[in-house]
């Protein structure tokens, strides 16, 4: 059963990626959509202010906020999907989850910061493109989004 992976972060760009995935799903023959939210780990002194239970609740609350709009789009389309959250560096975790889940395709939004900024700061999208073993479709920030 081919899986289409859609990393989401709560941005308009990631919702555009969900919409694009709905269009690509049939073309790719994917039966399942997998929403992935990658959260950066809390490190250093800040980490010491939270118990493990508090930190888990914080991560869960953030994931719920991020998943809610994407979930609404997929439920409205009446399509099967799963939600997965991971903690780590976004590009690394997207590629890792893609391999673990044996996804057929990754569809993700871009921030549209331009080549110079991406070169200096790095880009999650460019890192995923270079490391992924499956096709990656990048959805431009200018793509129309009816749910945004």
For the structural domain made of 3-139, what CATH number should be given?
A: 3.40.50.620
Nearest to 113 by CA among 123, 101, 104: 123
Per-residue confidence (pLDDT) for residue 47, from 0 to 100: 60
pLDDT digits (tens, 9 = 90+) for 89-121: 999 999 999 999 999 999 998 875 555 444 444
Helix axes 52-76, 12-28, angle to 10 degrees: 50
Find where tokens 């979930």 sit.
71
* pLDDT surpasses 70 at 24: yes
The overall average pLDDT reported for the chain is 84
Q: Specify the DSSP class assigned to residue 95.
A: H
pLDDT digits (tens, 9 = 90+) for 37-86: 999 887 666 666 777 788 888 889 999 999 999 999 999 999 889 999 99
Q: Are 36 and 95 in contact (CB under 8 A)?
A: no
Buried b (16+ CB within 10 A) or exposed e, 54-75: eeeeebeeebeebbebbbebbe
* pLDDT surpasses 60 at 123: yes
């Amino acid at each position: 059963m081919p899986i289409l992976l859609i990393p989401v972060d709560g941005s308009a760009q990631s919702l555009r990626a969900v919409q694009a995935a709905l269009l690509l799903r049939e073309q790719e023959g994917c039966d399942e959509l997998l929403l992935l939210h990658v959260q950066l780990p809390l490190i250093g002194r800040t980490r010491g202010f939270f118990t493990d239970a508090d930190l888990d609740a914080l991560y869960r609350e953030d994931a719920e906020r991020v998943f809610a709009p994407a979930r609404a789009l997929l439920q409205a389309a009446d399509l099967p999907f799963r939600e997965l959250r991971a903690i780590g560096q976004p590009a690394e975790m997207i590629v890792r989850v893609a391999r673990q889940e044996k996804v057929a395709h990754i569809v993700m939004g871009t921030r549209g910061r331009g080549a110079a900024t991406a070169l200096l700061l790095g880009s999650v999208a460019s890192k995923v493109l270079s490391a992924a073993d499956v096709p990656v479709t990048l959805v431009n920030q200018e793509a129309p989004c009816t749910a945004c």
